[in-house]
Structure 1
Amino acid sequence: MGWAVNHPVVTRDEQGPCLCSCSCLAFGTMVQEGNGSFKAIETYVEGDEVLAAGTGLTWAPASVVFSGGTTGASRQKFTVLVRYENTAIAVTSDHLFLLAGADRILRRADRLTTDDQLMSPTGEPVDIKGVHIGDYLAGFHHIAVTGKGTVPDTLDGHLLNTNGVVSADYLVQITARSGDVAGFRSSTQENIPVVGSPDYIARYGPSSLQAPELPAGFTDTSPIRISNNNFADQETGNTFIPAEATHVKVPPHACSFLPPDVAEAKKASPKRAFNDPMAREWTEALFDQHRAFYPDVTYSLDWASDEVNAYAWVENGVRHVDIKGGLVRDADLELEGISLVIAHELAHHYGGPPTGGSGLSCEGQADYHGVRNVMRRVWFGDSYSNTVGPAIAQMAAFFGVPDSPTAPGGSAGCAHPAGACRIATYHAAVDLTGKPGCAK
């Protein structure tokens, strides 16, 4: 369907509905065959022989029992690019690498640091020169080796030589999602920050968000190229776009969902992981849904930003709505709450008077028109009630106020009303009782 590899896909098994996604290596990653030569990961098919080992690194030919992935280039979010020696490898964030050392432990790609060392196929440590996160334009592919049953404690037959370093096959990847496997204990990785997250940057600096510094002649032996253009040609494969290049610049005259002081304070609120696919895909799906009703707006999700805010503005005659990653990742908000934020920003464009100096609707009007008009238009019939109720409850938690329709006193003018007033305004919009005075 054109989705990125780790896009969560709804399916079901004997226990009911569930989500699945894939863990893979980027097209062009060279994997060692059973005869000792190398070929690209995407060219492997079931029945091929690949060189495989366990934690003892005794290598022997083994049969590929499963091979799958994308059919072509897609924009793979949360790609981790690991630099080592004079090369690099691009993988999904939960790909597992074997670390050097006597313990022979596996480490998720999105928990790697330059303090870690990867393992060569002969057991030598390989220094990591850089770990970067961003979007990757390429296909991705995975293979499972030896068998589809239980992973042995020794990982025999399930470790591969991937571009000169040892990493796990697909069976180990999917087993590690639901529980521990040999060499991988999820509990030991919980305190390691995710690459690109504020905690990671605080410990290791901002380089994980920036473009990697590649040695001279790198592209002569590697298919990976770097682009700082966020709108790089989707048909150009093997292009890494660092997270920093995806930032959206908001003009000073833009209308914001939160005032600066509240937005700054909300940075300290609990957040989902930087590489959580659900929050990002909620927002992207909501953009698609709102675009059907408001097609004249350019929508953007600035995922790499930790700012807790959203914006609306008009520039060169083009209407914009931008949602920052820190808001989407806030633990109080889910799909419904994010929908209300988008409705608020659209209401700045279409809510009418009173308007501010930018010509867009004032904050109280955007709150009221967003829930009264925009959400009713986008969510038809019962889906409106099923969405707006949880949205208001999530917003009450987000603002730290009761979910109450009782409006406080005062008047905000064109500025942001207090949290309790905003919740009362949402309720008034649902009940069609008129905008409360505190929002005027």
Structure 2
Amino acid sequence: MALPPCDGGHCNTVDPEIQAACTAAGWPGGTPVPTRDINGVLCTCPCSCLAFGTMVEGSNAFKAIETFVVGDEIMATGVDLDWSPRPVVFSAGTTGASRQKNTVLVRYQNTAIAVTHDHLFLLAGEDKELKRADRLTTQDRLVSPDGQAVEIKGVHIGEYLAGFHHVAATNTDPIGEGLEGHLLNTNGIVSADYAVQVTALSQSVAGFRADRNESAPVVGSDEYIAAHGRECLQTPELPAGFDGQSAISIASVNAADADLASGTFIPAEATLVRVPDDACSFLPPDVAEAKKASPKRSFSDATSRELAENLITHHRAFYPDVTYHLDWASTEVNAYAWVENGVRHVDLKGGLVRDMDLEIEGVSLVLAHELAHHYGGPPVGGSGLSCEGQADYRGVSVVMRKVWFQEHYFLMADPAIAQMAAFFGVPNSPTAPGGSAGCAHPAGACRIATYHAAVTFTGKPACAG
């Protein structure tokens, strides 16, 4: 589901054009932008880093990050913390208050800073190490501009309503061993400028240990929660006087953007979707629980998330009477369909979208299955929605044909079935086993045979009920 990343040099070269595309499309920071490097490989370049309103030290005073323009002077240093005014050589970002997904909120002292997940902070210690925001823990220590260790009081993942901006200081030459001129005073702690971050996309820079960052659990993931608790998903507990030190406000519940003020952080737990007990699920509970152990993409994998959201946008054009949810913060490996107060719902859980067995085609099949619960016809279950085998058959035979035109149907359906065979751990075979599941979930081999029958219009197998 994820495209391979570009090398840092390519991203750095084309960043102004990428930023223009992000701005024109209204994309929030961190949105994957497909481009093509000199080798012809498709790749993604992000738009990133600091939330609007983040105070950064200029040569005369602190200024909001978004107010710096090329030619301004900004206070910069290397790991030696010998500060001096340097020119801003690059400045770009999003416009207005868009909802920034996978925002990391770091609490320290009596304030906080909101950044995209890939922002790099300098850590205290002899190693002079840089660490990604989405790998920080409360055991780490940040660095103040005068070299003092700064305790991290909390690390939280969620969504943030704001624009995001980045700057590069000093020059665009290769980064020196001491990061000279590329570390900034960002709201009282030291972090890297955009030049360092772009370079770190594909190669080592001084202080950045890619192996340590990649092996560390991502904030919000099951591994991170097991090691550090669920506080990273929950509403931050703010100290007295916090509002006077930070422009950040906290929402304890999710809401539409129009109902939230700019600068509002929505913790991941507030975005979780409540599914009623009588909802139809793509997987039965025992299989869904077992699939939690299968390999997953990163919790902060922006490409998987954007692809799933674009699938929903595409399907909404054909099935507009459904309320769609992408419950990204959930680690559950499942999807659901239900009717509540006369409103049809479809919900994709984050654990399913991040499963390594599924690409965009497989997730499309899951979405088609859930829509077919609503529109697949009889036989139906106690909830009034189509039974599981019927949703499998009508999802591939009707829903996918409706949303993917002519040959594009086969380009989606065939890979989707192969991915589902891997997902269920069964052969990709059109031969149906015996028995009948009734209205319940058929066995994996039967579901694969049902998908093949749907493609060829040879009728729903008996095993599918």
Match of 1:290 in 2: 315
For 1:193, give the aligned amino acid: P
What SS class does the counterpart of residue 414 from structure 2 fall into?
helix
What SS class does the counterpart of residue 243 from structure 2 fall into?
helix
Match of 2:14 in 1: none
**TM-score, normalised by the number of residues in structure 1:** 0.99
Supply the distance in 2 between the matched residues of 1:299 and 1:63 (Cα, whole angstroms): 47
Indicate the larger mover: 211-220 or 247-256: 211-220
Contact 1:23 1:173 in 2 (8 A): no
* Deviation digits for residues 284-316 of structure 1 (CA, Å, limit 9, x no counterpart): 000000000000000001111111100000000
What SS class does the counterpart of residue 168 from structure 2 fall into?
strand
**TM-score, normalised by the number of residues in structure 2:** 0.93
Shift of 1:232: 4.1
Q: 1:56 aligns with which of 59, 63, 80?
A: 80
Supply the distance in 2 between the matched residues of 1:140 and 1:420 (Cα, whole angstroms): 47
Contact 2:156 2:219 in 1 (8 A): yes
Match of 1:404 in 2: 429
Match of 1:329 in 2: 354
Q: 1:216 aligns with which of 233, 240, 244?
A: 240
Match of 1:349 in 2: 374
Supply the distance in 2 between the matched residues of 1:180 and 1:276 (Cα, whole angstroms): 21
Indicate the larger mover: 220-229 or 253-262: 220-229
Supply the distance in 2 between the matched residues of 1:321 and 1:391 (Cα, whole angstroms): 19
Q: 2:266 aligns with which of 241, 246, 249?
A: 241
What SS class does the counterpart of residue 355 from structure 2 fall into?
coil
Q: 2:344 aligns with which of 314, 319, 326?
A: 319
Supply the distance in 2 between the matched residues of 1:273 and 1:419 (Cα, whole angstroms): 26
Match of 1:389 in 2: 414
Contact 1:256 1:310 in 2 (8 A): yes
Contact 2:99 2:257 in 1 (8 A): no
What SS class does the counterpart of residue 160 from structure 1 fall into?
strand
Match of 1:371 in 2: 396
What SS class does the counterpart of residue 153 from structure 2 fall into?
strand
The unaligned stretches of length 5 or more in structure 2 are: 1-24
Supply the distance in 1 between the matched residues of 2:377 and 2:256 (Cα, whole angstroms): 36
For 2:116, give the aligned amino acid: T
Match of 1:118 in 2: 142
The residue correspondences of 1:10-29 to structure 2 (distance < 5 A) are 10-16=34-40, 17-29=42-54
Shift of 1:190: 2.5
Supply the distance in 2 between the matched residues of 1:352 and 1:59 (Cα, whole angstroms): 69
Shift of 1:45: 0.3
Match of 2:128 in 1: 104
Contact 2:389 2:447 in 1 (8 A): yes
Match of 2:98 in 1: 74
Q: CA RMSD in A?
A: 0.8
For 1:313, give the aligned amino acid: W
Match of 2:275 in 1: 250
Supply the distance in 1 between the matched residues of 2:168 and 2:251 (Cα, whole angstroms): 32
Supply the distance in 2 between the matched residues of 1:114 and 1:77 (Cα, whole angstroms): 22
Supply the distance in 2 between the matched residues of 1:233 and 1:393 (Cα, whole angstroms): 39
Identity %: 71
Supply the distance in 2 between the matched residues of 1:233 and 1:97 (Cα, whole angstroms): 29
Supply the distance in 1 between the matched residues of 2:38 and 2:134 (Cα, whole angstroms): 31
Contact 2:33 2:45 in 1 (8 A): yes
Supply the distance in 1 between the matched residues of 2:219 and 2:257 (Cα, whole angstroms): 26
What SS class does the counterpart of residue 390 from structure 1 fall into?
helix
Supply the distance in 2 between the matched residues of 1:312 and 1:134 (Cα, whole angstroms): 25
Indicate the larger mover: 278-287 or 347-356: 278-287
What SS class does the counterpart of residue 178 from structure 1 fall into?
coil
For 2:215, give the aligned amino acid: N
Aligned residues: 439
Supply the distance in 2 between the matched residues of 1:322 and 1:125 (Cα, whole angstroms): 44
For 1:60, give the aligned amino acid: S
Shift of 1:15: 2.5
Contact 2:89 2:169 in 1 (8 A): yes
Supply the distance in 2 between the matched residues of 1:97 and 1:189 (Cα, whole angstroms): 12
Q: 1:195 aligns with which of 219, 224, 238?
A: 219
Shift of 1:148: 1.1
* Deviation digits for residues 185-235 of structure 1 (CA, Å, limit 9, x no counterpart): 101223210011000000110000001111112112211000022114346
Supply the distance in 2 between the matched residues of 1:117 and 1:23 (Cα, whole angstroms): 23
For 2:81, give the aligned amino acid: L
Change (3 A) 1:39 1:182: same
Match of 2:15 in 1: none
Contact 2:53 2:66 in 1 (8 A): yes
* Deviation digits for residues 129-161 of structure 1 (CA, Å, limit 9, x no counterpart): 000000000000000011112011110000000
For 2:246, give the aligned amino acid: S
What SS class does the counterpart of residue 423 from structure 1 fall into?
helix
The residue correspondences of 1:178-189 to structure 2 (distance < 5 A) are 178-189=202-213
Structure 1 stretches of 4+ with a deviation exceeding 6 A read none
For 1:288, give the aligned amino acid: T
Supply the distance in 2 between the matched residues of 1:238 and 1:134 (Cα, whole angstroms): 13
Supply the distance in 2 between the matched residues of 1:145 and 1:88 (Cα, whole angstroms): 23
Contact 2:93 2:165 in 1 (8 A): yes
* Deviation digits for residues 360-394 of structure 1 (CA, Å, limit 9, x no counterpart): 00000000000000000000011101010100000
* Deviation digits for residues 253-289 of structure 1 (CA, Å, limit 9, x no counterpart): 1000000010011011111111111111111000000
Contact 2:48 2:93 in 1 (8 A): no
